[in-house]
Amino acid sequence: MSGFERYHRILRCFLHSESQWSVKALAETLDLPASTLYRGIRELVQHRFLESVGDSSYRLGPAFLEFERRLRESDPFIQSGGIFLPSLVRQSPIPICAALCRLHGHEVMCVADARTQGFEGSTAYERGRLMPILYGATSKAVLAGLPLRRRDKIIADAAAQTTVDVVYLTAQLRQLKKQGFLITRGEVDARLAGVAASITLPNDGIYASLTLIAHQSDLTHAIESRLAELVMTHASLIRQFMA
């Protein structure tokens, strides 16, 4: 084990499954001796990436709040979420959640979100959440905005791991570019539908999308049109804000 990976292996444990770990449990999971682990954990605690929770176990520490805040306040794209999403969801005729998602490497992550008071949805579209790369309007709108070479590489890599109808996907992307938005139903959460538009800013290296998520049961043709209109106008506002 070497370099940052040494620390990241420990931190990763806290992302998945349990949010609190005893040293003993970590030692079994990572197959490392306690003495080595205690050293790594102590360093992470000193730098606030972990914190001790009393009953001889550990959890993620306040450093993540501090760094995340810095990211939030310094990243203009995340800021645009804070500026435009609240007023966007207020204009919706039905309860919705709005999510701004961005490509990082080969993964799409939600970087800002807002929801109407009535929208008691899942936390699937919440800042910090990773999206499935080939499913849902969100990721498809990101893919649609990508340079062809990069898009194909991502699709090929991802398709190797899951079973996806690439022909259908390509058709959806074509449709998205043509009409400016895409509606998908039940692809991520069976009860929900997404209406998404691309936000591509090649100069900043940002490939992203804006998605409105609503309960399928709330949707009518008229409402779908309204949401499509909202998502396109606001995607445009965000593009202008970033330029």
Partner DNA sequence: CTATTTTTCTCACTAAATGAGAACATACGA
Partner DNA sequence: TCGTATGTTCTCATTTAGTGAGAAAAATAG
Convert 159-196 to b/e letters by CB count within 10 Å (16 or more is b): eeeeeeeeeebeebbeebeeebbbbbeebbbeebbbbb
Placement of tokens 């205690």 in the chain: 38
Which positions from 135 through 194 interact with a second copy, judged by CB under 8 A? none
Q: Does 7 bind a second copy (CB under 8 A)?
A: yes
Judged on CB neighbours under 10 Å (0-12, 13-18, 19+), 6 is middle
Q: Does 34 bind DNA (CB under 7 A)?
A: yes
**Candidate residues 1, 38, 66, 156; the one interacting with a second copy per rule CB under 8 A:** 66
Rg (CA), the chain: 20
Q: Does 23 bind a second copy (CB under 8 A)?
A: no
At its nearest, how many Å lie between DNA and the CB of residue 158?
22
Placement of tokens 């939600």 in the chain: 110
Q: Which does 23 bind (CB under 5 to 8 A by kind): DNA, a second copy, none?
A: DNA
**Candidate residues 111, 193, 195, 231; the one interacting with a second copy per rule CB under 8 A:** 111
Task: Find all residues with CB under 8 Å of 86, minimum gap 6, and list them.
Answer: 114
Q: Does 44 bind a second copy (CB under 8 A)?
A: yes
Q: Site map for DNA, 40-69, x if CB under 7 A?
A: xxx---------x---x-------------
Which helix or strand (DSSP H or E) is residue 41 part of?
Answer: helix 34-46
The answer to whether the CB of 176 falls within 8 A of the CB of 182 is yes
Q: Which does 1 bind (CB under 5 to 8 A by kind): DNA, a second copy, none?
A: DNA
What is the rounded distance in angstroms from the CA atom of residue 182 to the CA atom of residue 188? 14
Q: Does 6 bind DNA (CB under 7 A)?
A: yes
Scanning 32-40, 63-71, 115-123, 189-197 for contacts with DNA by CB under 7 A, the matching segment is 32-40
- The separation between the first and the last C-alpha atoms of the chain, rounded to the nearest angstrom, is 43
Binding residues for DNA, rule: CB under 7 A, are: 1-3, 6, 22-24, 32-36, 38-42, 52, 56
Q: Which residues bind a second copy (CB under 8 A)?
A: 3-5, 7-8, 11, 14-15, 19, 40, 43-44, 46-49, 51-54, 59-62, 64-75, 102, 104-105, 109, 111, 123, 126-130, 203-205
